[in-house]
Structure 1
Amino acid sequence: MQPATLDDRDDVSPSGPHGVWWVLMAAFLLRLTCMLIFGSHLYADEAEMGEIARNILAGQGFSLSLLGPEQPTAFIPPFEPYFFALIHGVFGDTPLSYAILIAIRSALSVTSAYVAYRIVRDTWSERLAILTLCTIAFYPPFIYYSAISEYLVRPPFSVLLCLLIVWCLLHFERHPSLGRACLTGGVFGFSLYVQSNFMSFIPFALAWMAYVLWCSREPLQGWRKLLPLVAMPLIAMLLLLPWTVRNYRAFGELVPLRTGFGLLFWLANNPVATGDLLSVSSWYVPRFDMAPAQTLSPPLLAQVRQANEVERDRLLLREATQFITSHPERYLQLTLIRLRSFWLGPPKHHKTAWKQIAVAAYGTYSVVLLGLALTALAFRRDRVVWLFVLLVIHFMLLYGLVQASYSYYRMDSEPFCLILAL
C-alpha cells in the first residue's frame, strides 16, 4: 500500500473535518450515557491505586500498606495515583469525582480514535481512516473500559499513549531525524509513568527504527545514522531519572520505575498457577496468605513477609525461575493458556449490568479480529504493517511468557489489530 496523497484525502469525506468531529462527539456522548446507565461503580477504585492516592492526600507520600503499616512503595507507576489524588483533592471522595474521572477517560478513549484516524490517513487513505475512526470510536470493548469498568484511567490512557508512540515512529519513518527520534523518546518516557510495560517495547521500536535508517535516503550518513538510535532510549531514560532517584531514596537500591515484576512473575509461574491472575490473586496476595504462598517453604515465606518490596521481588523472581527450570512442561502449558486468555479472556472480574455484552465482545470480536488481521498480512507489503505486527507480538510475548492475564492487557494492541483487519 502506498502512503496517502492529498488527492486521496480530499476525495472522500463529503462532510470534511466536521464529519470527523461529529463522530468523536457522538462517541463521547455514548460513553457518558453508558456511565449514567451502568454506573453502579461510582464509588469504586483499584485498591492499590486508591490507597496510594489517599495516602498522598493524607500527607503520607507515595505509600502502600502491603504488609501492615504504610511504607514507601513503587508497586505501580506513579501517574495514575497522583492524578487520582488531584481529582479527589479538588472534588472530594464523592461520586462526582469518580464521574469526572470516567468522563476524562472517555475523552481519552475518543482521542485514541482520532489519533488512529490520523495514523491511517497519513499512511494510507482517507477512506480507510474514516472507517478506522468509526470502528475504534464505537468498538464495544473500548466503550466498556472507558465508561463502565472500575479501572479508572490506565486502560484508555495506555491505549492513547501506545497510539501516540506509533504515530511518532511513523513520523520518524517518513523523515528520519535526530529531532523526531528525541520526540519519540520523550513520548516513551512519559508513557512509562502510566504503563511500565512499554519499556519492553523499546527494543522492538529500536529495531524498527534501525531498519528505517538502513533503508533511508535521508542525509544522515555514517555514524550519524546511529545518533537517533542512541537518542531515543536515552531521552526516555532521562525522563525516568526523577522517579528513579525517588525510588533510590526510598529503598536504597536502583529501581528505575517500579517493583512488582517478581511478584507478578511468581503469581504466573508457581505450582498452583492456572494461567489466570485472578484465580490466585486478591487483596490477600500481598499478605501472602493465599494458595500460592502455601507452596513456599516456611523459612522463605517468613523472609518474604519481612522483606521490603525490592527484596521480596528478588526472592519471588528466584522462586519462579526455579519452578520454570524444574517444570518446563508445566511452564509451556501455562504459556499456552495465557496466550489463549490474551485473545479470549472475558472481563469476568467486572460485575456490572453490561457484563454479558462485554463477554460477547471479547469472545467473538477478538477471534474475528485476529483472523482478519492475519489474512490482511497476506495482502499487504508495507513496513508500517510490520510495525503494527511487532507491537502485537510484543504484547503477546509479554503476557504469554511472563504474566498471568487480565482481560484488559490486550487493549494496547487492539487498535492495531483493528487497523490491520480493516
Structure 2
Amino acid sequence: MDDGLNKKKSTAAVWAVAGAVALTLILGFTYLYQIRNYAVYRNPVHGTDMFTYYSFASDIVQGKGFPPDTNFSPLYPFAFLPLIYFLFGINPFAAYAVQVIMGGLCVLLTYLIARKIFGETTALIAAYAHSLYGFFIIFYGALLAEVLINFTFLLALWMFLNALEKQDLRYCILCGLFWGTAILAKPTMAGFIPFLLIPWFLKKGMSLKSAGGIAAMAVCAAAVIAPVTVRNYRITGSFIPVSSGGGTAFIIGNSPQASGSYIYTPFARNVPKEAEGMSAGRMDRYLFGKTIESIEKDPADFLRVIGRKFQFFWGRPEIPNNINYYYHTYNYSRKVRPPVLDFQLLVPWELLVALGITGFMLSLKKWRDALTLQLFALVYPAIIIMLLVMGRFRLPLFPILAIFSAYALQSIVRMAADRRHAAFAGSIAVVAALLFVEYGYARTFLAPAGIYEKESGSILIRDENIHVTGAQFLGSEYEIARKDIVLNYEPGEFKKIVPVLYFKFVNSTGYLKIAVNGRETVKIPAGMGPSGKSFFMNWEIRVPTSSFVRGTNTILMQPCEGAKVYFPYDFSYRYGRSRIFYAWEKYEEKIPGEYVVRLRLEQ
C-alpha cells in the first residue's frame, strides 16, 4: 500500500518538474518567435559584447583562427558559440535555441539541488520560480554568456553535492571537471572554490581520503583550465589563469567617485593610459595597485562606493549592460514588445530577494544540509560588490534565491497550518520589511528630502539612482513633465544652482521649454540637444539663483512646436515627485519612478 502511494507521489513529482521544464521551453521558444524579425537579434550592435562574441566565433568557424585576446571569459566566445556555428551555420538563432534548452536544464538542476537539501515541495516551487523569471528569459535571445554561466555553475554545484554525499571518487572527478568549466565561463566563480572546503571537511572530516577527494577535484579543475592558461601565456608572456580584465573591472568599480557599475570616472580613464604598452597581466596588476592606492588615500569614499554597490546588487532595478531589460519591456508598445516578458511580473527580483533572505534565515536551523548554498549566497555577492555591479552579474545568484524563496514559502505555509502564530507573524514581518526596502520606500522614509551627495566644491541633489529603468515620451505641447526637487538650504548660500536634465529628442523640429518655479527659463532647440539613436544625455541649464527657494522647487519641461522628447526615469525610490500633466484634460498623474533631473549646488 505504502509502496503504491510512494510510486504515485514519485510519478506526480516527475510530471510536475517536467511541467516546469516544458514551461521554460514554451516561454523561451515563444520569445524567440516574437523577436525573429528584429534585425538587432540577427546582427548584434557594434561595440557590444554580443558583437564581439559574434565576430570571434565567426572568425574561428571561417578558419581565421582564434583572436589574440585575453580580456574575455573564454568558454562562450571561443568554444560554445563556435561549436554552435560549426554545427548549424553562422546564425545567432541557432545559439538562442540551444540557450533555451540549457534554460530548461537549469530549471531541472535547480529542482535537483533544492530537492536534495529541502525536499520535494521546495524543489518544485523553486523550479517554477526559475521558469517565470523574466530577466533570465531575455538572455535566451542574446549572444551573451549568462545562460551558459548559470548552466555550468548549477551543474558543478549539483555534482559537488553528490560528491559530498557519496563515497565515490568518480563524483569528485566530475565535480572538478565541471567547476573548471564553470570558471572558464565566469572566472569570478574561482573565488567561491575555497569556501567549498568548509562543507566538505565538516561532512567528511580531516581524513586522508577526504583530502584525496579535494585533490582529485583540484587536479581535474586545473586540467580543464590549463590549456587556456598556456594560451594566455603564449599571447601575453604573463601568467593569466583564465582571462585578464580584472584590474579594469576593479578600477571602474572602485576608483574615486565611482558609480559602482560600468561607468568610467576620470580616474578610471586616465590611469590605464599610464599602463599603455604593458602586457595584459602586468596591466591588471598595475590597475589593482593604483586603485588600492586611491582607496588608502580616501577610505571614506571607498566605503560609500561599496555601500552603493551593495544597494545596486540587492536593489530592485536591473542595471543595464549590453541589454536594457526595461527597454525590452516597459518602453515597447504592446504591439512591439515581446509579450512573454510580461511574465517578469510574476517573479520579480525584489520578491526573490525578500523571500530569499527570509528563507536563508529560516534555513539556518538546518545549516549542515544547506551550508553550501548559504555560503554561495554570502560569498558570490561579496565578490561582485568588490568589483562592479550590473544586472546580469546577479544572475548566478537567482537560482539560489529561488530555492531559498521556495523554502520560505513552504515554511510560512507550514507555520500557518501548525498554528505557530508567532513564527508566522515574524516571518511575514521580515518579508514585508524587506519588500518595503526593495520597493524604495525605506530611502524616502530615511531621507525625505532626497539624496544629497557632496562632491568637490559642490552638492548634488537627486531623487533617483544612477541608472535608467524607464522613459516617459512627450509628443505634444499639451504634455508637460513636472519634477519637484527639495532644497534644504537657502539659495543665497551658493554661487550657482544648476539644474541638470537627462533627456533626448526624437525628432529635429521644435524646442524644449524649461520653467523653474513658474518662470520660463530656457528654450533648448531640438537640433542642439541629444537626439535620434543617441543615449540619454545630461543638459545643464543656466538659471538665476534667485529663481530657487528653500523647500520644494518645481521644474516643468514642455515640448513645443512639434518637438518630441523622451525623459528617462528610475524607479529605485518612491518619492512621488515626478508627474506628467495632460493639459487638454487638465489631469496630472504620477509616473512609476522619478525623472532624472538633479540640482548641483556650487559653493
**TM range, smaller chain:** 0.7 to 0.9
Describe the superposition over 1:85-120 as per-residue Cα deviations: whole angstroms up to 9, x where unpaired. Answer: 343455555xxx122211111111111111111223
Describe the superposition over 1:161-182 as per-residue Cα deviations: whole angstroms up to 9, x where unpaired. Answer: 2211221121122224433222
Q: Which residue of 1 aligns with 2:236?
A: 251
Deviates more, 1:320-329 or 1:221-230: 221-230
**Distance (Å, rounded) in 1 between the aligned partners of 2:303 and 2:144:** 33
The letter for the 1-side match of 2:318 is P
2:191 counterpart SS class? helix
Taking the TM superposition and a 5 Å limit, the aligned residue runs for 1:221-240 are 222-240=207-225
**Distance (Å, rounded) in 2 between the aligned partners of 1:294 and 1:122:** 48
**Distance (Å, rounded) in 2 between the aligned partners of 1:91 and 1:229:** 39
The letter for the 2-side match of 1:354 is T
Q: Which residue of 2 aligns with 1:346?
A: 318
Aligned-pair CA distance for 1:366 = 4.0
The letter for the 2-side match of 1:188 is W
Q: Which residue of 1 aligns with 2:24?
A: 27
- Among 399, 407, 410, the residue aligned to 2:394: 410
Describe the superposition over 1:29-55 as per-residue Cα deviations: whole angstroms up to 9, x where unpaired. Answer: 111112222453312262432343344
Aligned-pair CA distance for 1:391 = 0.7
Q: Which residue of 2 aligns with 1:136?
A: 130
2:72 counterpart SS class? coil
Q: Which residue of 2 aligns with 1:112?
A: 106
Describe the superposition over 1:133-181 as per-residue Cα deviations: whole angstroms up to 9, x where unpaired. Answer: 222122222223324xx3x241112112221122112112222443322
Aligned-pair CA distance for 1:399 = 0.9
- Aligned 8 A contact 2:176 2:220 in 1: yes
1:84 corresponds to 2:69: no
Aligned-pair CA distance for 1:16 = 5.2
- Among 356, 359, 366, the residue aligned to 1:373: 359
2:275 counterpart SS class? helix
Q: Which residue of 2 aligns with 1:287?
A: none
- Aligned 8 A contact 1:53 1:81 in 2: yes
Q: Which residue of 2 aligns with 1:284?
A: none
Aligned-pair CA distance for 1:412 = 0.8
**Distance (Å, rounded) in 2 between the aligned partners of 1:125 and 1:294:** 50
- Among 306, 309, 323, the residue aligned to 2:280: 309
Q: Which residue of 2 aligns with 1:157?
A: 148
- Aligned 8 A contact 2:181 2:221 in 1: yes
Taking the TM superposition and a 5 Å limit, the aligned residue runs for 1:194-233 are 194-214=185-205, 222-233=207-218
- Aligned 8 A contact 1:114 1:133 in 2: yes
Shift in alpha-carbon separation, 1:128–1:347, aligned structure 2, 3 A: same
Q: Which residue of 1 aligns with 2:170?
A: 179
- Aligned 8 A contact 1:271 1:295 in 2: no
- Aligned 8 A contact 1:144 1:358 in 2: no
The letter for the 2-side match of 1:343 is W
The letter for the 2-side match of 1:365 is L
Q: Which residue of 2 aligns with 1:218?
A: none
Describe the superposition over 1:232-251 as per-residue Cα deviations: whole angstroms up to 9, x where unpaired. Answer: 22221122111111112112
Shift in alpha-carbon separation, 1:60–1:319, aligned structure 2, 3 A: farther
- Among 54, 60, 81, the residue aligned to 1:50: 54
Shift in alpha-carbon separation, 1:358–1:134, aligned structure 2, 3 A: closer
- Structure with a larger share of its residues in strand: 2
- Aligned 8 A contact 2:257 2:305 in 1: no
Describe the superposition over 1:54-97 as per-residue Cα deviations: whole angstroms up to 9, x where unpaired. Answer: 4434544332xxxxxxxx2211122211332343455555xxx1
Structure of higher CA gyration radius: 2
Unaligned runs of 5+ in 2: 332-341, 407-603
The letter for the 1-side match of 2:404 is L
The letter for the 1-side match of 2:108 is Y
Deviates more, 1:381-390 or 1:84-93: 84-93
1:319 corresponds to 2:290: yes
- Aligned 8 A contact 2:232 2:240 in 1: yes
Deviates more, 1:190-199 or 1:121-130: 121-130
Describe the superposition over 1:287-344 as per-residue Cα deviations: whole angstroms up to 9, x where unpaired. Answer: xxx7445543xxx72x423233223222212211211222211111111111111122
Would you say how many aligned residue pairs link Structure 1 and Structure 2? 382
Higher relative contact order at CA 8 Å, sep ≥6: structure 1 or structure 2? 1
Aligned-pair CA distance for 1:362 = 5.3
Describe the superposition over 1:248-296 as per-residue Cα deviations: whole angstroms up to 9, x where unpaired. Answer: 211222221111111111111212411111x22xxxxxxxxx7445543
Shift in alpha-carbon separation, 1:23–1:87, aligned structure 2, 3 A: same
1:73 corresponds to 2:44: no
Deviates more, 1:252-261 or 1:120-129: 120-129
The letter for the 2-side match of 1:417 is L
The letter for the 2-side match of 1:36 is Y
- Among 277, 301, 311, the residue aligned to 1:330: 301
**Distance (Å, rounded) in 1 between the aligned partners of 2:3 and 2:385:** 41
**Distance (Å, rounded) in 1 between the aligned partners of 2:115 and 2:363:** 19
Q: Which residue of 2 aligns with 1:217?
A: none
Q: Which residue of 1 aligns with 2:121?
A: 127
Aligned-pair CA distance for 1:212 = 1.3
2:185 counterpart SS class? coil
- Aligned 8 A contact 2:126 2:405 in 1: no
2:164 counterpart SS class? helix
Given the two structures, how large is their TM-score scaled by the length of structure 2?
A: 0.58
Cα RMSD (Å): 2.8
**Distance (Å, rounded) in 2 between the aligned partners of 1:13 and 1:27:** 21
**Distance (Å, rounded) in 2 between the aligned partners of 1:146 and 1:294:** 33
**Distance (Å, rounded) in 1 between the aligned partners of 2:368 and 2:4:** 23
- Structure with a larger share of its residues in helix: 1
